[in-house]
A = this chain, B = another copy of it.
């Protein structure tokens, strides 16, 4: 769809794509407030879960399983927080939501990347909404490589 940023991703936007399925893509999120945070985005324009086709549901299920397993295996996540919100689109006078799902891995132990330690300070509680998600590019690239390699084995 014209004017939908999710339908018109640039090469730069796709730089951190960790996996591409038939119907969904998975990107490492810009915000790494929870290390390994990703977003599953549908490859066609569609506004809500209830409008998914049979095949899109089937792949979504398989990706949920794949991502949970991957984040536990690669980064030591204890669990994953899943959310499908879409609120931001509704700031527009004519909202054109594009389905995407957030995955925040949660950790009961620190994650160490290139010698830097990341602690999930809110473990056991709802994720923080306004935590800084900026991490050194070297650490982000490390997470990207680990996830991409595992997911595309």
- CB within 8 Å of B: which residues of A? 48-50, 52, 57, 61, 64-65, 68-69, 78-88, 90-91, 97, 106, 108, 122-127, 129
What 15 new A-B contacts, CB under 8 Å, besides A85-B126, A90-B106? Answer: A49-B64, A49-B68, A50-B64, A79-B90, A81-B87, A82-B82, A82-B83, A83-B85, A87-B106, A87-B126, A90-B108, A90-B123, A90-B124, A91-B124, A129-B129
CA distance A122 to B91 in the complex (A): 10
A87 & B124 in contact (Cβ 8 Å cutoff): yes
Q: Which of A68, A90, A127 has the most CB of B within 10 A?
A: A90
Name A's interface SS.
mixed
B79 & A86 in contact (Cβ 8 Å cutoff): yes
Residues from chain B with a CB closer than 8 A to the CB of A81 are 83-87
CA distance A36 to B21 in the complex (A): 35
A125 & B87 in contact (Cβ 8 Å cutoff): yes
CA distance A85 to B79 in the complex (A): 9
Closest residue of B by beta carbon distance from A128:
B129
B79 & A48 in contact (Cβ 8 Å cutoff): yes
CA distance A79 to B83 in the complex (A): 14
B126 & A126 in contact (Cβ 8 Å cutoff): no
B49 & A82 in contact (Cβ 8 Å cutoff): yes
Residues from chain B with a CB closer than 8 A to the CB of A124 are 87-88, 90-91
